[in-house]
Structure 1
Amino acid sequence: MYQATAQPSPRTETSGSRRRLSPDAAPLFAYGTLQFDAVLEALIGRIPQQVAASAPGWRAASLEGRVYPGLVAAPGSVAPGVLFIDLSRREWAILDAFEDDRYDLHEVTVASGGRGLAYIWPDGEVLDGDWNAEQFRTSHLEEYAARCARIAPGLLARAAH
């Protein structure tokens, strides 16, 4: 199992420079809605190769007024997720266009010695409770995936620029 370190590494060429991913973009650590096949199929048209992962020192926090979470620092917590290891540049660009502009993209080190990128929620609107993936699945996934399918063509156009 892969595990990301508790703190983001110092700014790199890709961290903080949204919409300008480096040519060698690392794997993506996903801890929220991107863990669901229906969302991935709607956005990029396939399910990328993935491995189970977790991020110690982080939690997938519920956010006020949103059905998706934000990854926030939380000593003693562990955020479960997956690491996508075969995203193309085009797919990365689509997912980056999809993510809320409030997120910061940061590199995280993986226990195996590798690296990955994660969308970190900077601050504000963070609730005390952790995001509940099963509750999302039962209450929001179908509508959320349908919305993703509706906006995917626009994301593809944004990603092409």
Structure 2
Amino acid sequence: MSASASAVQHHHNVFVYGSLLADDVVKVLLKRVPPSSSAILHSFHRFSIKGRVYPAILPVENKKVTGKVLFGITNPELDILDTFEDVEYERRTVEVSLMDSSEKLQAHTYVWSDKNDPNLYGVWDFEEWKRVHMNDFIKMTTGFVEELEQPESKPRVATYESFYNQDDQNPPTS
């Protein structure tokens, strides 16, 4: 890569507060664990969501969300995170405070799109999530990444049909 090409490569800070606090989930998504630092997002609250294992954040006066900032996220990695967070979240730029230095910096984060969602409640607990849901979540994330990496050349329908055609070659012997 030439010097001018690398100058064009933008790197982003991304504040994470839910499943992406787990390095194992980040590693599955981005194929690496970027450098990070513990951080606080002021004037937001982290909610649990009925029927989901991951949290949502929304602006709430006098609340704060602890999480971490992932540093050096590339444009392609940001695209992966956008796809992973999907339409339920909107990416916003927020100001976070690093815990070790109190330094403030700008970072992207994913804010719940529906601020009047009746399914938001309480407080989401990362330790409980790690204990109860992390292993399944990593499996789900692995499946998500495999889907992302599939070339569009073989649609799901073709996979489905070839799977069922195999059954026709071995009729049941009854």
User: TM-score normalised by the shorter chain: which range applies?
Assistant: 0.7 to 0.9
Distance 1:104 1:49 in 2: 23
Q: How many aligned positions are there?
A: 136
Q: How far does residue 25 in structure 1 lie from its aligned partner after superposition?
A: 5.8
What is the Cα deviation at residue 154 of structure 1?
A: 2.4
Q: What stretches of structure 1 of length at least 5 have no aligned partner? A: 1-22
The code of the aligned residue for 1:36 comes to A
Cα 1:156–1:88, aligned 2, differ >3 Å: closer, same or farther?
Answer: farther
Q: How do 1:56-95 residues align onto structure 2 when only pairs under 5 Å count?
A: 56-95=42-81
**Any idea what the Cα deviations from partners look like across 1:22-77, whole Å, max 9, x if unmatched?**
x7463101011111011111111111110111111111110111100011112121
Task: Output the TM-score relative to the length of structure 1.
Answer: 0.77
Distance 2:39 2:50 in 1: 26
Q: Flag structure 2 segments of 5+ consecutive residues without an equivalent.
A: 1-8, 98-102, 152-174
Q: 1:155 aligns with which of 148, 153, 171?
A: 148
SS in structure 1 of the partner of residue 72 of structure 2: coil
Aligned to 1:26: 12
Mapped partners of 1:121, 1:70: distance in 2: 5
Pairwise CA distance, 1:98? 0.6
Which residue among 93, 111, 114 is the counterpart of 1:120?
111
Which residue identity is paired with 2:140? R
Larger Rg computed on CA atoms: 2
Query: Aligned Cα RMSD in Å?
Result: 1.9
Comparing 126-135 with 148-157, greater Cα deviation is found at 148-157
Question: Separation in 1 of the partners of 2:132 and 2:96?
Answer: 32
Q: Give 1:18's aligned residue.
A: none
Percent identical residues: 26
CA contact (8 A) 1:97 1:155 kept: no
Change (3 A) 1:46 1:25: closer
Residue equivalent to 1:55: 41
Supply the distance in 2 between the matched residues of 1:59 and 1:40 (Cα, whole angstroms).
22
